Chains A and B, each alone.
Chain A
Amino acid sequence: DAGVTQSPTHLIKTRGQQVTLRCSPKSGHDTVSWYQQALGQGPQFIFQYYEEEERQRGNFPDRFSGHQFPNYSSELNVNALLLGDSALYLCASSSDGAYEQYFGPGTRLTVT
């Protein structure tokens, strides 16, 4: 039973570029949440997708957008990258109605 998977593992981008990160949820899960974790901080909620729609959103600018596909996998897109976007991006999946979320290994993004 595969857990949550994310790709790529690491990514280096330049300021102003755009990036797309991918996540496949744990088998049986239909809800995907994205988090940003800066060094020394706890994960910060970006948004959550359920039934291919953004259901909830945290305090992140519109440069952060996402998508969920019919197979429940999800993408996180970040436009006009800033140096401050450098972080570990975590995807977590859950079953709708369940509180527990399970995390993937993350994508480490470095913006230079």
Chain B
Amino acid sequence: RKEVEQDPGPFNVPEGATVAFNCTYSNSASQSFFWYRQDCRKEPKLLMSVYSSGNEDGRFTAQLNRASQYISLLIRDSKLSDSATYLCVSNDYKLSFGAGTTVTVRA
């Protein structure tokens, strides 16, 4: 079983819509989690850290459910510039990445 699993998508949404997706992790000992954003052929960029039950940063909200071992990311009022692949990451002694969820925001 992979350490972090994500729905690959793609999620194709209109501008202004809300989009949400989850990832699950297998290591119950993981203490911290992250969402990274990766544009095509570029490096991952840290979007948000999640240490407790959740975190909110502007239009982005991450929630952590330790009992069910999943993390969600919600994007409100989607912009064209939100189109990217979103990588879910768990941290035990190393970062374990999911394969990513592709989001495309259309005009």
A interface residues (Cβ-Cβ under 8 A, vs B): 33, 35, 40-45, 48, 56, 58, 88, 90, 92, 99-106
Bound-state Cα–Cα, A99 to B44, Å = 15
Pairs across A and B, CB under 8 Å, 17 listed: A33-B95, A35-B95, A42-B98, A44-B97, A45-B94, A45-B96, A56-B93, A56-B94, A90-B44, A92-B95, A99-B31, A99-B34, A99-B49, A100-B46, A100-B49, A103-B43, A105-B43
Bound-state Cα–Cα, A102 to B49, Å = 12
Most buried by B among A44, A58, A88, A101: A101
A-B contact count (CB 8 A): 46
A99 close to B32 (CB less than 8 A): yes
Cβ-based interface call for B4 (8 A): yes
The contact of A42 among B43, B45, B100, by CB within 8 Å, is: B100
Q: Rank and list the top 5 A-B pairs by shortest CB-CB distance, nearest first.
A: A42-B97, A103-B43, A45-B94, A99-B32, A42-B99
Cβ-based interface call for B73 (8 A): no
B94 close to A48 (CB less than 8 A): yes
12 extra interchain contacts, Cβ-Cβ under 8 A, other than A35-B95, A100-B46?
A33-B94, A33-B95, A42-B100, A44-B97, A45-B95, A56-B94, A88-B41, A99-B31, A101-B46, A103-B43, A103-B45, A106-B43
Chain B: minimal CB distance from A38 (Å): 10
| Docked complex: B14-54 residues within 8 A CB-CB of A | 31-32, 34, 41-46, 49
